[in-house]
Structure 1
Amino acid sequence: MLKIGEFSQLGQVSIRTLRHYDEIDLLHPKLVDEESGYRYYSVRQLDVLAQIVLLRELKFSLKEIKSLIQQDPKIFTAALLKKDREIEKEIQRDQFRQQQIQQMIQRMQHKGNYQVKIKEIPAFPVISLRKKIKSFYHEGLLWEEFQSLLKKQGLPFPSDSNQCLTIFHDEEYLEEGVDVEVAIISSKKAVKPLQMKQLPKIDHAAIFYVEGNYHQLPEAYQAFAKWLEEHPEFQMIKTTRQICHIGPEHTNNPEEYLTELQIPLISLTLT
């Protein structure tokens, strides 16, 4: 038998915590001397205490721990595996946050130089696939579906990235349910679910390029907003077009991406 002080030292848990565990019926002493009130623990109880300490480190509540250590080993194992999956998700979220921190630092240290040019974009025919996708990060899956449909209809996919574009139809930024259309410049015939249509001429489009990964797009749009402020004679309208000159299908290095943004404008001086 071990006195509470000895049990505390060997189990690396304070006496105050051991008394608290006793009060909440989590871990009782093996013996309490009626005359002196001294608490004694068995050596075997160190294993139970070690389990409690580990479960606390794994963010289990004391209520959950009390239930688990009294359960069948299979139930205990299942609970541990569930917690393992939760921790894995937390790790992924933390890694994503770390990436965001590093990207923000890089953007602060290397501010992009976005030169906005006004161009006229002529009308041209396209074959397209338009859908509401889960989020902007699912655009790649839409392109894969588009290419598969083109292949089934015997339609070639252009090797020149300038012949491919993405059109964003939402008037506002959405976290989910994004209205996206992927298209290729083509005058060939296609059947549903693919569409054949003529994209209208744009008299004035703000054209600028984003070098590097897609996380820099917010910074690019901020730069464009400042440009708009400096050019009150123009007003943006919806249906932004995006051309990926260099993307995931061209390189494994996101810092080598090159994206062209085309934002239709209205000239207020002509209205």
Structure 2
Amino acid sequence: MKEYFTIGEVSKLFQVKIATLRYYDEIGLLRPEFIDEKNNYRYYSTQQFERLNSIKYLRALDLPINEIIDFFNYREIDTLVELLKKQKEEVAKKKMELELIEARISRRLLQIEDAVTTTLDKITEVKLPEMRVAYLRQEYVIGEDIELPITELRNSFGMDGEIFSGKIGISISISNLNTHNFDKYSSVFMVLEEGDQIASSSVMIPERDYLRIRFKGTHLDAAAYYEKLLDHMKKHHYELIDDSFEITLIDYGITNDIDKYVTEILLPYIRK
């Protein structure tokens, strides 16, 4: 029976790249049984197959190379058990992270579908559940590029720029709304979702009633729709109780077609 195998043969047998086997040799994880001095060929013995199988198994568990080396240097049952327990914890953590990402994707798909199929230019009365919101309080004039404050918001709260992050919007203060001053925004905000970890405190917005309108366009087109909402509120004897929420549901982040942009305005109210 054949006892020695070239690096190429071992590579094919175990489906391990030659470059990987050479790397294992360099770091002392798996050295060849001997190297032919004439042609510098590496040869592995069948007795090394078990070690290579163990390396493949531990790598499949995503164990770091340095921990695998330590295991072989101090090979004990307890050492392997501790390694596997530690890796099990890492797998559970990654599983939880992937489940959160999956939930974010599902929410994002629902949001896009809702925005695409929504009825435009119609005022509706909606009750929204409690929301956790991160604010950056700062005044902006309509027409200014809000990408900088959005970036500042993310940095201020230690949030990354993932596409699956929560809804981002701007607010007009209740004082400006009451005076029909729609050209200044008082804050940029993000509606936080499950799993969002932020460096600073957030604000809990309680469950409450809102007047909502969705329209084709962006913040630049919003003034007329604020007027419609306030007129509706006056007609039905409602009282405005807080700043607005203005969120672009579909914008350049999703499509190049500006005719498909959809923005939502929410005004919180109570019945007098």
Which TM-score bucket, shorter chain as reference? 0.3 to 0.5
Give me the TM-score of the superposition, normalised by structure 2: 0.46
Give me the TM-score of the superposition, normalised by structure 1: 0.46
